[in-house]
Structure 1
Amino acid sequence: MIVITAPTGNIGRSLLSRLLKSAPAAGEELRVIVRDPARLPETARGRVEVITGSHGDAEVLDRAFEGADAVFWLVPPDASLPPEDAFSGFTRPAAKALAAHGVGHVVGVSALGRGTPLADRAGLVSASLAMDDLIAGSGVAYRALANPSFFENLLEEADSIRDKGVFTDVVDADRKAPLVAVADIAGIAAGLLLDRSWTGIDDVPVLGPQDVSPNDLARIMTEQFGRPVRYERQPFDEMYTTLVGYGLNEAFVQGIVDMKRAKDQGLDAGVTRTPDTASPTGFEQWCAETLKPAVLS
């Protein structure tokens, strides 16, 4: 039995689709934890066991982890809370339930940066790494998917790219770093959940096929859209003021700013790309298949 949390989110939806195709042949049953079962895809109807509720709720987890062999764990960051509460606070009931039910294997969505000098001052990344330690301490075999930033973050900029030809961030325009497609993260997670021959605790970096800078992204978008797209660097204090103005928790916003600052200082550059750490989807492909339709629609 594989339990999937956040099955209607970007990564979870892709993971569920993959497991629906592969799990039956492997003799695996699937169970999902979801607040609103109506948001599950039609392909999942009658093919997965549904536990309704939040995976931050101890009672829900007690039902969901009963008889489970493996769990996919993803915390949806709650911008109304400080980072420690949003990650470790949300995960503490799960750590207790994993131990209580003797779950053997967990695959979690986390971040790059462990072992670097920046790891303890990287805001949301630091909170995510602390969450990994909490899960690892429950006695499970654990694989933390150590991810850089996602291509999908650019979908939040689709209107600005369409209307102004501009996307923004706070990192240096020429700072090359790994970026990854969420479908590739889901692919790695599916493989680990289906083949549980692994033991112990480890990170699994998912780095995409090559490092790219904001200026690289702007060039590729310009070529694909047939119109100029440029990158505009936003000051850190301006980002903080803007996000607090949206009503987000100030400590959480500071966590975002600290994470972005650490990335600008090279947080994501500490892992060597190898055939094992690279993932297949490049920005050109993702841009053509996902961002271009969103911008030009």
Structure 2
Amino acid sequence: MIVITTPTGAIGGQLLDIMLREAPARGQRLRVVVRDDARLPEATRGRVDVVTGSHRDPEVVDRAFDGAEAVFWVIPPDPSARDLEQAYSGFTEAAAKAFAAHGIRHVVGVSALGRGTPVADRAGLVTASLAMDDLIASTGVAYRALVNPSFMDNLLRQVISIRDHGEFTGTAAADHAAPITATADIAAAGARLLLDRSWTGSGEVAVLGPEDLSHDDMARIMSEALGRPIRYRRESQAELRAALAGRGASEAFTRGFVDMMRAKDEGLDNAALRTPATTSPTDFRGWCERVLTPAVLA
């Protein structure tokens, strides 16, 4: 039995699709933990065991992990969080206890790049995510953290600006090149680890995409894919802070997000070694053609 958390999320949903195709042939049963099972397609509900509730809840994870061997662990973002440690490690505490209580052997989690860098301890959301990894590893399960740079898919939050104003924003210098990855590749990496659990111990698996790109590079590629000029505008960290606060984010989350972006601007995502193993297949041009363009045209 493999348990999948956030099965309707950007990464968890794509991972579930892969597992529905491939797990049965390997004799693997699937269980999902979801707050609202109505969000699962009816066909999916008929093929998985469903546990309804929050995977922060001790009673929920006890039910979910009963008889399971492996878990895909994702923390849902919480812009209302009052404390980042509680939002990550606090959220995971019940599961960490349940891993041991139920004899879970393997856990695959979604985390972030940055461990061992000079800015890792002041990178806001990333710092909290790395502490969560440490908590899971301390339980003695075999653990793999999928560590990622920024997601291509985050641009979907700016579809209206891209469509109506030909502009997207960020805090990085326009010529600062860094890895960028697609959520589909993260899901695929997670599925591979869950389906072949021959690995042991704790470690990280970086998912870096196929190339480093600057925001100027991304603007050029987006312009070519959409057939119209798209420009990048660098915003200040003060502007980012104001925008997050304006959308109702808590002070802790806002500070953590801004600190994360500051750390990325200082090279947080650039320390990971690019190798054939860390290079994932989805290139930005292909993602723009398959994902961004239909979203903009819609």
- TM-score, structure 2 length as denominator? 0.98
Counterpart of 1:204 in 2: which secondary structure? strand
Matches within 5 A, 1:165-204: 165-204=166-205
What CA distance in whole angstroms lies between the structure 2 residues aligned with 1:100 and 1:115?
A: 31
Question: C-alpha separation between the residues in 1 aligned to 2:46 and 2:237?
Answer: 48
1:222 aligns with 2:220: no
Report how far residue 99 of structure 1 moved: 1.2
Rounded Cα–Cα distance in structure 2 between residues aligned with 1:228 and 1:145: 34
Identity %: 64
> Following the alignment from structure 1 to structure 2, what is the Cα–Cα distance between the partners of residues 210 and 180?
9
Corresponding residue of 1:47: 47
Deviations, residues 157-215 of structure 1 (Å, cap 9, x unaligned): 00000000000011111110011110100101001001111000000000000001110
Task: Provide the residue aligned with 1:65 in structure 2.
Answer: 65
Per the TM alignment, residue 238 of structure 1 is displaced from its structure 2 partner at its CA by: 1.5
Q: Secondary structure at the match of 1:33?
A: strand
Give CA deviations for 1:237-264 in whole Å, capped at 9, x if unaligned.
1111221122211011000000000000
Equivalent residue number for residue 281 of structure 1: 282
Conserved? CA contact 1:79–1:86, under 8 Å: no
Q: What letter corresponds to residue 86 of structure 1 in structure 2?
A: A
Aligned to 2:248: 247
User: 1:65-214 residue pairs with structure 2 within 5 A?
Assistant: 65-81=65-81, 82-214=83-215
Instruction: Kindly state the Cα deviation for residue 123 of structure 1 after the two structures are TM-superposed.
Output: 0.5
Greater Cα offset, 33-42 or 132-141: 33-42
Runs of 4+ in 1 over 3 A off after TM superposition: none
| Structure 2 equivalent of residue 34 of structure 1 | 34
Q: Which SS does the other structure have where 2:276 is aligned?
A: coil
Deviation at 1:34, TM superposition (A): 0.5
Whole-Å Cα distance in 1 between the matches of residues 184 and 123 of structure 2? Answer: 25
- Which digits, 9 at most, give the CA deviation of each residue in 1:5-51, with x for residues without a partner? 00000101100000001111100000000111111134413110000
The secondary structure found in structure 2 opposite 1:25 is helix
Letter in 1 for 2:145: A
Matched residue type, 2:52: T
CA apart distance, 1:108? 0.1
The alpha carbon displacement at 1:156 in A equals 0.4
Q: Distance in 2 between matches of 1:244 and 1:10?
A: 24
* C-alpha contact 1:77 1:87 (8 A) present in aligned 2: no
Deviations 1:251-295 (A, max 9, x none): 110000000000001100111111100000000000000001111
Report deviation, 1:224: 1.2
Q: State the secondary structure of the residue aligned to 1:288.
A: helix
Number of residue pairs matched by the alignment: 297
What is the identity, as a one-letter code, of the residue corresponding to 2:278?
A: T
Q: Is the 8 A contact 1:112 1:268 kept in 2?
A: yes
- In the alignment, which residue of structure 1 is the partner of 2:259? 258
Following the alignment from structure 1 to structure 2, what is the Cα–Cα distance between the partners of residues 43 and 189? Answer: 23
Secondary structure, counterpart of 1:44 in structure 2: helix
In structure 1, stretches of 5+ residues that fail to align are: none
| SS of structure 2 residue aligned to 1:258 | helix
Relative to the length of structure 1, the TM-score reads 0.99
Q: Specify the SS of the correspondent of 1:145.
A: strand
Partner of 1:231: 232
Cα RMSD after superposing both structures: 0.8
One-letter amino acid matched to 2:34: V
Q: Which residue number corresponds to residue 12 of structure 1?
A: 12
